[in-house]
Amino acid sequence: MATIVDVAKRAGVSTATVSRVLNGSANVSDKTKERIMAAIEELNYNPNALGRNLRRMRTGLVLVILPSISNSFFSQVVKGMEQTGAAQSYTTMICTTRSNPDRERMFLNLVRNRQADGVILISSCLSAEELQSFCLQYPVVQCSEFIPGVDTPLVSIDNEHAGYDAAQHLLKLGHRHIGVIAARGTHSSDLRLTGCRRALAEYGIADCPTAYGNFTYQSGYGAAQQLLQEHPQLTAIFAVSDVMACAAMRAGQDLEHRVPETLSVIGFDNITMSYVVRPSLTTIAQPRYELGSAAMQQLIVQIENGKQSHNCICMEHTIIKRESTAAIL
């Protein structure tokens, strides 16, 4: 492995001059530069970033921590982060926790160790206390799914309002018996449920049967079964994720419902599955790419300018009306 010293010797210059060429700084004569380039070529030299990083005390790496890559919602969010990071010379890497706090701690330690410059959390599995003590010292942003009560910048939609809009859509179609499939322990689900209940309350409806899933198809199917069996009067279901909404459609069909004729279903996220299923799924869409992009922007500001006032960036959601919801007969 050739080092900068080898290149310098071969080109008959000092390491400083080689370094100048490597970093594209001015003030190197063309012919010196040529000699150095030739030496680099001949020696098949690659700069060792370990030395550079130690010297500069930064790596240009940022981590995105999420539970799993199997959730297709994240794909576009991450793309927004990657492209925005790349535009400012940061390399984005994805770290999966599988909801294991020890794995998450291990990745945060990479930032403590200075092997990465900062971290974006999507759906952290640590406590607010633990996260808070970390984020006081290191650059952190939360995106989309978040832990409340932690002083990080947050980029998300207004989940309460989105839940309100989902319920409004059903209410305006005439539905008065609406069930919800929520997810325990995620703050966004709580907010969506709160918004849904606020909309129902405006129509004088106090009763909102709720069952819980964990974002898997199976759990959504079970939750829907439970709702429909315990509350046969239900004419509509709002699920806080598309996967669970699709499962609810199937569960409804298996219980002799027809969607949307006797059962309307609305989901959340607008993933590919939502327009592939039959009937296609009405859902709430988030600006995924923009969420990721804004989160990365916030992180870079923090890395380069230090801790900021912790603003919360709220993005617009939209409702996408498809075949799975219809006016009550």
Distance CA 214, CA 232 (A): 23
Rounded to a whole number of angstroms, the minimum distance from the CB of residue 47 to a copy of itself is 7
Quickly tell me which residue has 């004729």 as its tokens: 261
Report which of 188, 250, 195, 196 is spatially closest to residue 219, judged by C-alpha positions: 250
DSSP letter at 257 equals -
**Which is closer to DNA, CB of 21 or CB of 121?**
21
Rounded to a whole number of angstroms, the minimum distance from the CB of residue 63 to a copy of itself is 8
Rounded to a whole number of angstroms, the minimum distance from the CB of residue 18 to DNA is 7
95 is in the binding site of which of DNA, a copy of itself, none (Cβ under 5 to 8 A by kind)? a copy of itself
Quickly tell me which residue has 């129509």 as its tokens: 203
Rounded to a whole number of angstroms, the minimum distance from the CB of residue 220 to a copy of itself is 11
What is the secondary structure of 101-147 as a DSSP string? HHHHHHHHHHHHTTSSSEEEESS--S-HHHHHHHHTTS-EEEESS--
* Encoded amino acid at 312, one letter: C
Quickly tell me which residue has 């869409």 as its tokens: 285
Rounded to a whole number of angstroms, the minimum distance from the CB of residue 196 to a copy of itself is 26
Distance CA 175, CA 237 (A): 10
Q: Locate 112 and state its tokens.
A: 């403590």
Residues at the contact surface with a copy of itself, assessed by CB under 8 A: 46-51, 53-54, 57, 59, 61, 63, 68-70, 72, 74-75, 78-79, 82, 86, 91, 93-96, 98, 103, 106-107, 109-110, 112-115, 217, 246, 250, 272-273, 276, 278
17 is in the binding site of which of a copy of itself, DNA, none (Cβ under 5 to 8 A by kind)? DNA
**Which is closer to DNA, CB of 17 or CB of 241?**
17
Asked if 275 and 242 touch (Cβ cutoff 8 Å), the reply is: no
98 is in the binding site of which of DNA, a copy of itself, none (Cβ under 5 to 8 A by kind)? a copy of itself
For CA atoms 179, 184, 189, 192, the dihedral sign is positive
What is the secondary structure of 303-322 as a DSSP string? HHH------EEEE--EEE--
Rounded to a whole number of angstroms, the minimum distance from the CB of residue 61 to DNA is 16
128 is in the binding site of which of DNA, a copy of itself, none (Cβ under 5 to 8 A by kind)? none
**Which is closer to DNA, CB of 18 or CB of 265?**
18
Residues at the contact surface with DNA, assessed by CB under 7 A: 1, 3-5, 12-20, 22-23, 26-29, 31-33, 47-48, 50-52, 54-57
**Which is closer to a copy of itself, CB of 63 or CB of 295?**
63
